[in-house]
Structures are given as C-alpha cells and as structure tokens.
Amino acid sequence: MPQPRPYKVALNGYGRIGRCVLRALFERGAAAGFEIVAINDLADMASVEYLTRFDSTHGRFPGEVKVDGDCLHINGNCVKVLRSATPEGIDWASLGVDLVLECSGAYHTREDGQRFLDAGAPRVLFSQPMASEADVDATIVYGVNQDCLSGDERLVSNASCTTNCGVPLLRLLDQAIGLEYVSITTIHSAMNDQPVIDAYHHEDLRRTRSAFQSVIPVSTGLARGIERLLPELAGRIQAKAVRVPTVNVSCLDITMQTVSDTDAPEVNRILREAATSGPLKGLLAYTELPHASCDFNHDPHSAIVDASQTRVSGPRLVNILAWFDNEWGFANRMLDVAGHYLHTAAPRTDTQLSVSEEQ
C-alpha cells in the first residue's frame, strides 16, 4: 500500500537532546513519520559518528552508523552533516525541510527564531522554553494543549522536561480535587553546564562545584513555565531545584494544598486511572513497586508516578513524587509535538511506495 511521504526534518544542535531525538526517531522506525535529512553541529565528523554509535547513558545505537564524506549513513539513510555556527549560515529551504528541530538550547527569543525563518526554515520547534510568551507562537506540552495548534504557528516551544512532567499532573489534580497552592522541588540529574571537577562558571557560583561530589541547589524557571500553561495557577505556585550526582533520570517532589478534602488512596486512584485511560495514557505511567531512579533510564513517559511516595497530611496537604527520564522522555515528546504540529500545519496527501513494495 502507498504510504504518506514522511516529513523532512533537520536537527540544529547535536548534544544530549539532539542525539536522543535522532535515536528516538530511528527506534520508532517508519511509524515516526519523519525523515531526518540534516544535522547541524560544530563537532567534527568523527565525534558525530562516535557519539551516535555509543552512548554512556542509553547504550549502543541499535543499528548501523557509518560516514561517507559529509554524510552520516544511519541504517542506510543519508543524513547530511553541516557545521554552521549560525542559523543563517544554512539554506534550510534547499534541504527541503518541513521543520527544524532546534536542539542546541542556544536560542530563546523571537529574534533568534526569525533568523531560522529568514534563512528558509518554514517552521521551528525549540527544545527549550523561550524567554517569554511573546517570543514564541505557542508552547506545547503534549497531552495537555497540543490541540491548540492551528497550523499557522512558525515558532513553537516544546517547553522543558520538568514542565512536561509537572503540567499534566497538576492539571489532572486541579480538575479532580482543586489546587490552592503548589510547591515543587526538582531533583535533577547533573547537566552539561556543571563541571566534573571544580571550575569557573559564567554566572552561578554554585555551578563552579563538581557535579559528582555535591547536591547543588540551582535556579529554575519551572514555576513561571507552568504558569504559562496553567494560568489558573498564576501566583500560587513556587519551585526550586537541586542537581544531584547521577547521570540521568530526575524526579519532581510536588506538595499541594487542595481545595477538597482527600486522602492518599484517592490521589493514587486519580493518577492510576489517568495512566491507564484517557488523554494521558502512554504519557503518564504509574507504579507501586520500590523503584530507584536508574529503573527509569530510557523510559519514554513524561512522568512516572511513584504511588509508594504519596502522602496526605490532614485532609488537604498532598505530596506526590514523579520520576522522568529528562533526556529520553523529553526527546520522545519532541517527536510527538513535531508530528502533531506538522500534521496540523502541512497535512500530506502525496505518497511514496514503502520499501517492501519497491522490492
């Protein structure tokens, strides 16, 4: 049977998120509905190939990767590797891309996004929150508000991994039992803005300290990011973050003062039912087993509720804990949002034969 032509996408930035997005795309296979045509990163080709094949966190790439000139062949697919320091250094239109996945984390304003559009990109999906609501046409958390996309947007943000974990949970519980106030602590694995041994940092003295010797409080924009998506909680939510000496997988410790009286069994029932049916199925998971963080490495869910950690003090002070793979879960949401975005903006009617039919 003829199959719809896959959407053509390019990656700008090939660090942790960029490589996870590419790997998730190939692990999904044809069902992903994408063809990756280019990667832009300043790394040399040997490093691009090596870091695609071998990953200390997610293991070896489950396929064939080799280099031929400026092309990275992945399972027989040629992905052109570019090395431009700026968006305008690439003629995105000549690549025929439907979407640029901006995974460098270096661009945060509408002016930054416009540089991609001026260079021929038809639309851009950012892997980071933008500086303000005015800097993007939409910020999307898949499972919550992807249906607000009209197809006219050209600059869209995929929010952050912590926002993708927290927003579905808060929205769900606010609708079920009502939330008056919320306090969140992000317990986050070390990131690439932290040194392995003590070293200078351009803005944060705490981040001069070794990532693997301390638990380190850091600043976070999580509360403001949640308020953008759940304005009904504006002024009633606060957040803080600590980095811990692990390589991957993080969690949110969420404390809520509720409108209605409740207890731990009711809270867990709400979360369990949402994980098994409805719009959050496949995005939210639920467990009662005695897990540790490493159990959720390479887990594609946005949030995994640890029911063993649910606590209720009095009738209205609720505390829950939710795990998330801050790399792999987020990379999968990038693909989910990209697919919905492109289906809305540029639905395909042209087809191509599948590989089996061509043979």
Annotated binding site: 16-17, 41, 127, 326
* Amino acid found at 106: A
Q: What are phi and psi of 93, to 5 degrees?
A: -65, -35
Q: Which of 16, 200, 255, 9 has its CA nearest to residue 122? A: 9
**Alpha carbon distance 162, 8 (integer Å):** 28
User: Which alpha helices (H) appear in the chain, and where do they start and end?
Assistant: 16-28, 45-53, 110-118, 161-177, 222-229, 264-276, 328-345, 355-358
- Helix H or strand E encompassing 92: none
Q: Which residue has the tokens 């998120």?
A: 17
- H helices of 8-109, in order, are 16-28, 45-53
- Judge whether 31 and 81 are in contact, CB under 8 Å: no
Q: Is 161 a residue of the active site?
A: yes
Annotated binding site for NAD(+): 16-17, 41, 127, 326
Q: With beta carbons less than 8 A apart as the criterion, state whether 279 and 292 touch.
A: no
71, 103, 148, 161: the catalytic one is 161
CA distance 322 to 161: 12
Helices 161-177 and 222-229, packing angle to 10 deg: 50
DSSP 150: -
Q: What residues are annotated to the active site?
A: 161
